[in-house]
Structure 1
Amino acid sequence: MKLTIERAILLKALGHVQAVVERRNTIPILSNVLINASDGFARFTATDLDMEIVEEAEAQVEREGLITAPAHTLYEIARKLPEGSQVTLELGGDDPRILLSAGRSRFNLPILPPGDFPVMPSEDLAVSFTAPASEIARLIDKTRFAISTEETRYYLNGIHLHAAERDGRKTLRAVATDGHRLALAETDLPDGAQGMPAVIVPRKPIQELRRLLEDLDGDVDVSVSDGKIRFQLGAAVLTSKLIDGTFPDYERVIPRGNDKIMRIDRAPFAQAVDRVATISQEKSRSVKLSLAPGQVTLTVNNPESGAANEELVADYSSDEMTIGFNARYLLDVASQIEGDEVIFELADSGSPTRVTDSGDADAEYVLMPLRV
């Protein structure tokens, strides 16, 4: 095999696929990237057995062939080569290693048999649809912060993606929760997505998909089955297994009848929460909100670090009440608010609070209160 590829093209392709490869692998072949050179293209593939990314890049192919090479090492070499370099990858002759050359630089890298590289089985992905890349990115950004990291409840370790309906409008909805907070975002249901199964996309593929979306303008082709999901993003294809579990009935925890409404400017509120949380206890990060007509007072009491409070003007006209929240959760939600105001819908100090966005009617959040 022998191919020549421009350094920037190689770096981009390797940057996308090598992120899948774990730094430590008990299976040596999983540390490698599969390179398939043919028909004027180099196809780079990496996998961790649960997820696979394939990226195709233009290259001058002198001899077609298939090899594997250490993914992270190859990426680091490409990253450190001079801009504009022409990089040649060659395997042949008596040396059982791949030769990488660029200008006066030469690297000989170990290889493993391409026949050992695991290929993710291609099953019948029955449902396919196309959605704008910006909308897929939005669904991820609005919800991924609420994905659980608790491995025992594995079915919460991803984003629940499914077709839904609200007030007669059909939507593609993304939901994530860790049991303490919930994030929901939706967009108009794309053509062809009506029959899609409800799936849970794991955290790692979500992160890699979001990285791939940064370089993409246009549409994403999505194919779904009960066990896998595939995203075609320009020259890159991400395929992932799905979490085999049942996502909880999240609709039951979204309060729809909370009658105490507080509207507050997002930026001053987030800044104030961040300030008073400076002295909160590291574990609970609790902040108490004392609501009164026309204002809210943020209070933190920490026996070790002291106390802090700050008053803010708020649009609130119901009875006085106090409620506590995790400061990090408040800041995570505030960071996703697009409008100038955050809208809190409260019931009492022990009940879930619904938070909505004055600038995005297709996103909502639920926060469980803390005892303060």
Structure 2
Amino acid sequence: MKFVADAKAFAAAMAAVQKICERRNSIPILSNAVVSAKQDGIELRATDLDLEITMALGAAVARPGATSVPAQLLSDILRKMAPGSEVMFESEPDGQVASVGAGRSKFRLQTLPDSDYPQMTDGNYSHTIQFAGDALLEALSKVQFAISTEETRYYLNGVFWNVDDAQPDAITFVATDGHRLATSYRQPDGDVDGFPPIIVPRKTISEIITLAKVAGTDPIKVEVSENKIRVTVGTTVLVSKLIDGTFPDYKRVIPAIGNRIAIVASKILSAAADRVTTVSSERGRAVKLTFTDEHLSLTVNSPDNGSAEEDVDVQYGGEPLEIGFNAKYLSDIMTVIGTGDARISLIDPGSPTVITTDKDPASVYVLMPMRVG
């Protein structure tokens, strides 16, 4: 195999592909990526057995062929090539070594046969929809932060995609870790009738977000089978296993809008919560919010370090209320909301709180309270 490719394009593609590979793996070949040269260009492929990515890019191919090379090492080499250079890639006839060079630089890498490299089998993709890249990016970015990292509840280690009765023409995306919940919906191009409820793993969500950033307003095709999802953006194809489990009934967690409504600038509230919890030595970083007429006070008391208090302007017309939250969880929601006002719906100190924003009515956040002294 022998080809010449633009160093910048090759490096960008390899950087995306190597993220899929596991650096420390009991199966050595899974640290590699397959490089295939065909008449019309080259193809890169990597998998961790749960997720697979394939990317194609243009190249001048002198001799077709394929091999697998250490993904991280090749990515590092390409990243350090001089800007504007062209890279020559050639695998030796014995199939054990590949040479990579540009200008006066030349590297020889150990390879493994591409025939030994695992490949995920495609399923019968029963349903296909399409999103604009920026729409899918926005929806997944609104909920990603709430994905659980607790491996024992594996069915929460991803984002739930489903057709909600309240939004029958859209896909609703949901994530929760049991302490906070985020949901957002977007309408795709294509019929959502019969679209099956699926749980897409955390790592796959991260990769889809990366692809959506690159896509911009270009379309992203999503295909779903019984146990896999396939996402296509241009010449890049991502195939992933789905989480085999039952996502909890998230609608039961979202309470009705309470009779106490507070409106506050999200960035100001996030910054205030971060400041007052500086004195907190507790893992939960609890902060107490006291709502009174046109006034919100944030307080933290730490037996070891002292106390902190900060006042924030708020529009609030209900009965006075004290409620405690995990400051990080509160700040995460405010960060996702971004600039503008957050609308906080309160019921009582022991009930979940609903947070929304007028600039994105398609997204809803639920935060569980915590006991504070």
Range into which the TM-score falls when normalised by the shorter chain: over 0.9
Which residue of structure 1 aligns with residue 169 of structure 2?
Answer: 170
Shift of 1:147: 0.2
* Cα drift, residue 95 of structure 1: 7.4
Aligned equivalents of 1:95, 1:35: Cα separation in 2: 13
Could you tell me which residue of structure 2 aligns to residue 117 of structure 1?
A: 117
Quote the offset at 1:339 in angstroms.
5.5
Conserved? CA contact 1:16–1:212, under 8 Å = no
Equivalent residues of 1:172, 1:190 under 8 A apart: no
Aligned residue for 2:208?
A: 209
The range that moved more, 81-90 or 177-186, is 81-90
- Structure 2: how far apart are the matches of 1:178 and 1:26? 30
Q: Deviations over 1:221-244 (max 9, x none)?
A: 110112000110112111100000
Contact in 2 for aligned 1:165/1:171 (Cα 8 Å) = no
Give 1:190's aligned residue.
Answer: 189
Match of 2:160 in 1: 160
Q: Which amino acid aligns with 2:352?
A: P
Q: Is the 8 A contact 2:129 2:188 kept in 1?
A: no
User: 1:152, 1:125 → 2: CA distance?
Assistant: 29
Say if 2:103 is the partner of 1:83.
no
Cα distance, 1:169 vs. partner?
Answer: 5.1
Identity of aligned residues (%): 41
Q: Distance in 2 between matches of 1:87 and 1:101?
A: 6
Q: Deviations over 1:18-54 (max 9, x none)?
A: 0001110110110111111102210000000000000
> Do the aligned partners of 2:33 and 2:71 also contact (CA within 8 Å) in 1?
yes
2:356 is aligned with 1:334: no
**Equivalence for 2:259:** 259
Counterpart residue number, 1:322: 322
Inter-partner Cα distance in structure 2 for 1:320 and 1:28: 61
1:95–1:48 CA distance, 2 compared to 1 (3 A): closer
Amino acid in structure 1 at the alignment position of 2:6: E
The residue number in structure 1 matching 2:3 is 3
C-alpha distance in 2, partners of 1:95/1:224? 37
Over residues 61-92 of structure 1, what are the superposed CA-to-partner deviations in whole Å (9 max), with x where a residue is unaligned?
10010111110010000011111111111123
Q: TM-score, normalised by structure 1?
A: 0.97
Q: Structure 2 CA distance, aligned partners of 1:314 and 1:261?
A: 10
Letter matched to residue 254 of structure 1 = I
Answer yes or no: is the 8 Å Cα contact 2:261–2:316 preserved in 1: yes
Q: Deviations over 1:101-149 (max 9, x none)?
A: 2111111111111111001001111101111001111111100000000
Counterpart in the other structure of 2:223: 223
Q: Does the residue aligned with 1:291 lie in a helix, a strand or coil?
A: strand
Distance 1:191 1:323 in 2: 44
Say whether 1:107 aligns with 2:112.
no
Residue aligned with 1:165, SS: coil
| 1:50 paired to 2:50 | yes
Q: 3-state SS of the aligned residue for 2:271? A: helix
Q: CA deviation at 1:94?
A: 5.5
SS at match of 1:8: helix
**C-alpha contact 2:123 2:226 (8 A) present in aligned 1:** no
Give the AA of the match of 2:100. Answer: L
Contact 2:172–2:183, Cα closer than 8 Å, also in 1:
yes
User: How many residues matched?
Assistant: 371
Equivalent residue letter for 1:240? S
Q: Is the 8 A contact 2:258 2:347 kept in 1?
A: yes
| 1:125 partner SS | coil
Amino acid at match of 1:104: R
Aligned match of 1:269: 269
Q: Separation in 2 of the partners of 1:196 and 1:114?
A: 36
Supply the distance in 2 between the matched residues of 1:135 and 1:338 (Cα, whole angstroms).
17
Q: Is this contact kept in 2: 1:55–1:236, CA < 8 A?
A: yes
- Give how far 1:338 is off: 4.7
The CA deviation at 1:60 is 0.5
Query: 2:274 corresponds to which letter in structure 1?
Result: D
CA contact (8 A) 1:270 1:331 kept: yes
Q: Could you tell me which amino acid in structure 2 is paired with residue 220 of structure 1?
A: I
CA distance in 1, matches of 2:365, 2:96: 56
Deviation at 1:305, TM superposition (A): 1.2
Task: Please say if residues 339 and 359 of structure 1, whose CA atoms lie closer than 8 Å, have aligned partners that are also in contact.
Answer: no
Aligned position for 2:199? 200
Are 1:233 and 2:233 counterparts? yes
Question: Quick check: 1:338–1:358 contact (8 Å CA) kept in 2?
Answer: no
Q: Kindly state the Cα deviation for residue 358 of structure 1 after the two structures are TM-superposed.
A: 2.0
In the other structure, the counterpart of 2:179 is 180
Aligned-pair distance for 1:189?
Answer: 4.2
1:348-359 mapped onto 2 (5 Å cutoff) = 348-359=348-359
Structure 1 residue 93 displacement after superposition: 4.1
2:332 partner amino acid: D
User: Which whole-Å CA distance do the structure 2 matches of 1:339 and 1:268 have between them?
Assistant: 9
